[in-house]
Structure 1
Amino acid sequence: MNVSFLRRNRLLAGLFTAVLATGIVAGTAAPASAGNSHHKKIDYVALGDSYAAGQGGGRYLDECLHTKAAYPRAVDKLPGVKLIADATCSGATSLDVLKHQIPRVKHKLQKAELVTLTVGANDIASQEIRETCGAPGAAAPATFDEQRCTTLVLKAIANVKERVLKALVKIDDIRDRVKILVTGYPRLFAAPADAFQARANAAVDGLNAALHQAVKKANMWGVRAYFVDVTRAFHGRLIGDRFPWLHAEGNDTWHPNKWGHLAYSVVVIWHVKRIF
């Protein structure tokens, strides 16, 4: 095992421990009433897909591929925060969040102070897009049509932007002035080895930009939403790097491993501390 790898991972784990230790009780982080872990005051609802459910982070706990490494579980450990509903599920799309997850936990959202949302990756990785764009493991197209591939991806990204905006407004309508964190996604490949990998990275960049734009537009309508960028946290840890924090193969391909989910947790917790 490379010594620098161990040191960096220990540093990340140490940072995570420190964040949990301070919780959101440090003077600028939260209301004083949230400081007592025995009297949790910030009710929290998690929405989204496999990146929020924790797929790739260890042993699966249910059919939605939840693992103990999922960032909502880490947020729940913060003094002053209580996870009252976790609707995240592997395979969820932006339409699933809008049409199914939000209605299913509406009664919980009515009293939530914090909501996290991670969604969009499945929209740009639909079966049609995978087959058209020649993704590994998908049925290879008879002839590659770059224009059709690009058109499908851009349409999917536009749909995500529209649906996420609707979801943010809908959540705010259910619980006025709730604070919503919308997380982005890491790029997948450190140094794209072929055209598909380059397109995949570009698609993630486009998706992140769309999510950020949806948050900004929601802000204009009075929604207290915040974009959480995780790209820097994964710098030097992508597929192709020596010690990636993403699975390169197997059933969890392109999902964070336990270290990737730990990185997500650290970034999300930092933002929770910042907004409360």
Structure 2
Amino acid sequence: MSLRGGSGSNFPRQKPNWQLALEEIIRDDNAWLRMNPGQSLQSRYYSGNSGGGAQASSAAKANLTKLFDRYQEAGAPDKDIVGVEGTMRYFEETGVDAEGLEALAALEIVQAPTMGEMSRDGFVKGWSERSCDTVDKQKAYLKNVKSELSDNKELFTRVYKYTFTIAKPTDQRAVPLEMAAVYWELLFSSPVSAVKWSSPNTPWLSWWIEFLNTSWKKSVNKDMWNETLKFAQLSLADESMSFWNEESSWPSVIDDFVEFVKKDKRGGTDEQPMDEDEL
């Protein structure tokens, strides 16, 4: 049964729970700022000075512990880990697209040990720090995170770097190339990405994947993962890659990619392609 009524109904449209929760968070934040002049919301959420005292913190953690238990699969061998099935159910309840960039952001918040899993400690700590001890509050928070991802490069960078942790196999130090390519496709081409690694002149991401599949064929370590983001940002700002030189401290794979672009894609010239308007 719909609560909206027919087209001629005079009943007001009911606000969704996530919107009510978001409004509650905003009211709570504003009240805290009035009670703590000179302080910032960042100090509230990240310094441990939440103004609610130990009792409020303890109650929130108790709520989060119970919430975590809701997603435990029956007969799970480890009661401190929620597996893939429970994580997918959590994503559904919080409105997170399991195949979207916001899923990686959610897993970064709870410091997931691997893709598709959540630990009790990470879940409780991550959401306790953000004062979100209910599904509705978390849904509202994650909706806001998704809206910020395309403009907030600091947030995007944090999610990008943490993705390395969940992408690599357990007890391994590197990400298989095939898996890294899948995550790069998501991170660098998502509509909500802050770093879309492509331009009208240069399909950077496509060239990068092509180069790796034909010339690299090795796993991706943490340094290469992080430096790829740095190179992506610089290449978008300077498509001629004048920021690169042989004395730079880039990983060798980046050096080889620069040569690949210059020789194989640009015919041996250092100049970037011209826009059609410039021709």
TM-score, normalised to structure 2, is 0.25
- Structure number with greater Rg is 2
Higher strand share: 1
Structure scoring higher RCO (CA < 8 A, sep ≥ 6) equals 1
